[in-house]
Structure 1
Amino acid sequence: MGWQKIDGQLTQLAVGRGNNVWGVNSQDSIFRYINGTWHQIPGAATYVGVGADGTVWVVTRAGSIYKWVDYTWIQISGALAQISVGDATHVWGVTNLTNIFLRVNGDINTNGLWAQVDGALSDVSVASDGTVWGVNSNHDIFRWAGYNWEQVNGKLKQIYVSSRELIVGVNDNNQVFQYVNGTWNQLDGSLSLVYVAISIDGILWGIDINNGIHTRQDNLISQAYSISNSSTTPNNAANYSQNNSSIIIGLALGLGLSIIIFITAIVIIVRHYKKAPVLRIAH
């Protein structure tokens, strides 16, 4: 099916399930996509996060945080520059100082707390299954392992996850990549995009350099992943899993060679002592 152009202009958007898409424009206006039309929502924000269950949070230009509850915005304590929502129980964000926070013990002021997570990221994304990925200011890619960050090969300036299997991102050349089975693959027919998002059911949305809006409704879950013939990482480096395999093979070969050398040395020593004359003590 490929990419389709959608009317309107946005600077950032987020998608939960299906086409439950929210976005913000350059004037900080907030919009929701309903039945093929953008509807303006009261309020102002620079960043929006949408969960698979329909949970919506936003961040304002001043860093204030709000949650959409019963058709109104409720302010949440704290300050963030960017926010991501997997569902009501999975909310992460980063500050303008690249500090990372996750929401714990509820989501409203009286119950919820922001817990700081070690590390520094400029962009973080969380899914409803708890999967968390992020990129730092150097565009290095990281995956949350539950207690620490694991670096993943490649370079991206923006990343978006909606499940453990659905991870997409954009590199410095505005190329769109999807992470499949440990490999970054550039999508066939990809537009030049500065921002990309994917729903939990595999529908892609993106924003181009002119704030134009695009979508791919062909579902990246059900199809055999529309991937180019030559898989590559976002920075054209070798694949991370391949690097690990090479390291393991190299270590195995090195260990095997060491064992052979050791056994050979033992054999030489044994032969030497067998040939050496025996010193007899006179009585």
Structure 2
Amino acid sequence: MKTIAAFLLVLCHLAISHAWNCNKFSGLSDVQQIDAGQGQVAATDKHNHAYLLSGSSWYRLPSDNIKHVTVGHAGIWAVDTSNYIYKLVAGKWSRVNGLLKQIDAGGNLFIAGANHINNAYCLKTSDTLGFKGVGIVSWTQMPTSLMYYSCGPYGCWGVDTSDRIYLTQSVTPSSCSNSGWTQISGALKMVEVGSDGSVFGVNASGKVYQRIGITSCVPQGTTWTQLPMSMTMKHVSYDLGKLWVVSTSGQVFQCTE
């Protein structure tokens, strides 16, 4: 019986890992980073231009020096090549005080991100939604060192400079307090959380992984499974059943199960 159960488990994981169908998504080249959330998709290219997807066409957002862009519950935010932070307000980038190198709008109406010395920060809901283009916001430094940081409905995930993976199961949007960080097995150079709690990441070898078994009761999931890709990848994001992957050559792929 144990042998049969083990075989079925392996078969299940094989089915999961081979269930994704990926196709090249045209219209944008030399892509560096992509982010999907709340039905929107944004990306940046090697020229530090930011784009927003509408239908099957990419539309360029203002500014020529955006290196990381994010979309989600908290709106559209970005950081530029000088690590300055911006929020898209009435179609224009409005600068927000503070410095970040990576930013994420996938939390429950709060912003998360990491700065140039790998300190993790959170922006509470009142400041995230309250910023309309003027005024000062108050960032809360999280008690951990992360170089990449992404949030979803079941907590926030991050990776440090040694590719170690961490999870905090609860961040309070109104105060940015958290439940403490737990190290998760595995090694990734970046990790992204989807709006439904799905977690995907890319390791130092350009391989894409999905965290299996995530539920509201088991926010840490159970194991990682590698998704077969035709080439090495550098960035990934997930929303509404679609996995967006960027290859090391800057090509965008859209994958569906």
Do the structures match in fold with TM over 0.5?
A: yes
Cα separation, 2, equivalents of 1:165 and 1:14: 15
1:149 correspondence with 2:149: no
Query: Structure 1 residues 79 and 189 mapped into 2: Cα distance closer, same or farther (>3 Å)?
Result: closer
Matched, 1:84 2:104: yes
> Which amino acid is 1:213 matched to?
V
Deviation at 1:171, TM superposition (A): 1.0
Matches within 5 A, 1:42-191: 42-43=62-63, 44-51=65-72, 53=73, 55-86=75-106, 89-104=109-124, 105-107=126-128, 108=131, 110=135, 112-127=137-152, 129=153, 131-145=155-169, 146-163=178-195, 165-181=197-213, 182-189=222-229, 191=231
Equivalent in the alignment of 1:193? 233
**CA distance in structure 2 between the aligned counterparts of 1:23 and 1:86, rounded to whole angstroms:** 15
Q: Which has the higher strand share?
A: 2
User: Please, which moves more after superposition, 180-189 or 74-83?
Assistant: 180-189
Judge conservation of contact 1:160–1:168 (CA < 8 Å) in 2.
Answer: yes
User: Which portions of structure 1, spanning 4 or more consecutive aligned residues, are displaced by more than 6 angstroms?
Assistant: none
- The answer to whether the 8 A contact 1:55-1:87 is kept is no
Whether 1:16 aligns to 2:37 is yes
Q: In structure 2, what residue type is equivalent to 1:152?
A: I
Q: How many residues align?
A: 214
The code of the aligned residue for 2:256 comes to Q
For 1:197 and 1:187, locate their aligned partners in 2 and report how far apart those are by CA, in whole Å. 13
Q: Distance in 2 between matches of 1:174 and 1:56?
A: 27
Q: Distance in 1 between matches of 2:38 and 2:223?
A: 25
Offset at 1:87? Answer: 5.2
In 1, Cα distance between the equivalents of 2:256 and 2:234? 19
Counterpart amino acid of 1:202? G
2:207–2:229 Cα contact (<8 Å) kept: no
Q: Give how far 1:190 is off.
A: 5.9
Distance 2:231 2:22 in 1: 8
User: Contact between 1:140 and 1:151, CA under 8 Å: does it hold in 2?
Assistant: yes
1:167-207 deviation digits (Å, cap 9, x = unpaired):
000112211110012110112456421111111x2310011
1:12/1:78 CA distance change after superposition, 3 Å: same
One-letter code aligned to 1:125: S
Which 5+ residue runs of structure 2 have no aligned equivalent?
1-19, 170-177, 214-221
CA distance in 2, matches of 1:154, 1:88: 26
Secondary structure at the residue paired with 2:225? strand
Shift of residue 84, structure 1, vs aligned partner: 0.7
Considering only CA atoms, is the larger Rg found in Structure 1 or Structure 2?
A: 1
Is the 1:32–1:38 Cα contact (8 Å) retained in structure 2?
Answer: yes
Matched, 1:33 2:53: yes
> Residue 24 of structure 1 contacts residue 48 of structure 1 at CA under 8 Å; is this kept in 2?
yes
Q: SS of 2:98's equivalent?
A: coil
SS in 2 for 1:155: coil
Pick closer, same or farther for the CA change 1:135–1:87 going to 2, 3 Å: closer
Relative to structure 1, the CA distance from residue 16 to residue 38 in structure 2 (aligned partners, 3 Å threshold; closer, same or farther) is: same
- Given the superposition, is the C-alpha separation of residues 209 and 27 from structure 1 closer, same or farther in structure 2, using an over 3 Å criterion? same
Distance 1:48 1:57 in 2: 6
CA RMSD in angstroms comes to 1.8
Superposed CA deviations along residues 44-97 of structure 1, whole A, max 9, x for unmatched, are 30001110x471100000011000112111111101111011157221011110
User: What TM-score results when the alignment is normalised by the length of structure 1?
Assistant: 0.71
User: Tell me, which stretches of 5 or more residues in structure 1 are unaligned?
Assistant: 219-283
* Identity rate, percent: 25
Structure ranking higher on relative contact order (CA contacts 8 Å, 6+ apart):
2
Aligned to 1:5: 24
Instruction: Write the mapping of 1:260-279 to structure 2, written as runs, cut at 5 A.
Output: none
Counterparts of 2:252 and 2:109 in 1: how far apart (Å)? 29
